[in-house]
Amino acid sequence: MENDPSAVPHRERAREAFFGRLRGPRLRPGQAMLLETLLPSLRIDLDTPPPADLTTLIAAPVEAVHLEIGFGGGEHLLAGALRRPDTGFIGVEPFVNGMAKLLSAIAEAPPANLRLYDDDATRLLDWLPEASLSGIDLLYPDPWPKKKHFKRRFVNPRNLDRFARVLAPGASFRFASDIDTYVDWTLQHCRDHPAFEWTAARAADWHSPFEGWPGTRYEAKAIREGRRPAYLTFRRI
């Protein structure tokens, strides 16, 4: 309906790496309003040239910038931004309902070290300056379990090339999943990529959550259903 405050105007979306639903249940009017009022002040505009120093993209004075791709409801992203005020955080989430949930959580006091992007992450990765990120997190991405859909998985040689370009030497790419086939897939692809090395020294290293891990609803569901999450960290050589 034209005057429905819970309706969100359609935006043209890039579709190279995001193939899932763009929206779920109808938003509450307050959530829809935040997408129209709060998101524009935090959204990164790719129509402008990227800054030579990525830290200047963040409103607060920060020493480094970290990227989370597909933040879901934003639990991990927000926890990181609040726990590490000296680091800038960029969160990417094309799913409208996930973005609305995060905006609702920060509406009263948006962290000054947080920026957001609500379209395909590959566009942002191609826009970012070289060696500008201190880390990338890809947590519980869509596993695309059918073999015919493996090509849709975000971890692939082209995207690993993108990660290698924007990560500073020594920076980390962190991956979490409860799907064994996707964990194996990621290990094999990162093993075959010359820019990354797996940091685990023992099995406990990749079954232990990352430092400061707040837990997410996806992880809780996986554990309830008997799936053991894996937490992989790869260093940019």
| pLDDT, tens only, 82-122 | 999 999 999 999 999 999 999 999 999 999 999 999 999 99
Q: Which of 7-11, 26-30, 196-200, 210-214 has the highest mean pLDDT?
A: 196-200
Residue 25 confidence (pLDDT) above 90: no
Sheet of 133-139: strand order equals 114-117, 87-92, 64-69, 133-139, 167-177, 230-236, 196-198
At residue 57, what are phi and psi to the nearest 5 degrees?
-75, -15
Active site residues: 142
Residue corresponding to tokens 């590959």:
122
Report the pLDDT value the prediction gives residue 24, as an integer from 0 to 100.
61
85 neighbors 113 (Cβ within 8 angstroms): yes
Number of Cβ atoms within 10 Å of the Cβ of 231: 19
User: Residue 172 belongs to what H/E stretch?
Assistant: strand 167-177
* 110 closest CA partner among 82, 147, 70: 82
Q: What is the pTM of this model?
A: 0.90
pLDDT band at 9 (very low <50, low <70, confident <90, very high): very low
More confident residue, 3 or 131: 131
Report all structural domains of the chain as residue ranges with CATH numbers, in order of start. Answer: 40-236 (3.40.50.150)
List pLDDT tens digits, range 164-193. Answer: 999 999 999 999 999 999 999 999 999 999
| Helix, strand or coil, per DSSP, at residue 67 | strand
Q: Can you tell me the distance from the alpha carbon of 25 to that of 96, in angstroms, rounded to the nearest whole number?
A: 10
Cα four-point dihedral sign 193, 229, 71, 235: negative
The neighbouring-strand residues paired with 197 are 235
Structure tokens at 203: 């099995």
Query: How many angstroms from the chain centroid is the CA of residue 24?
Result: 19
Report the pLDDT value the prediction gives residue 74, as an integer from 0 to 100.
95
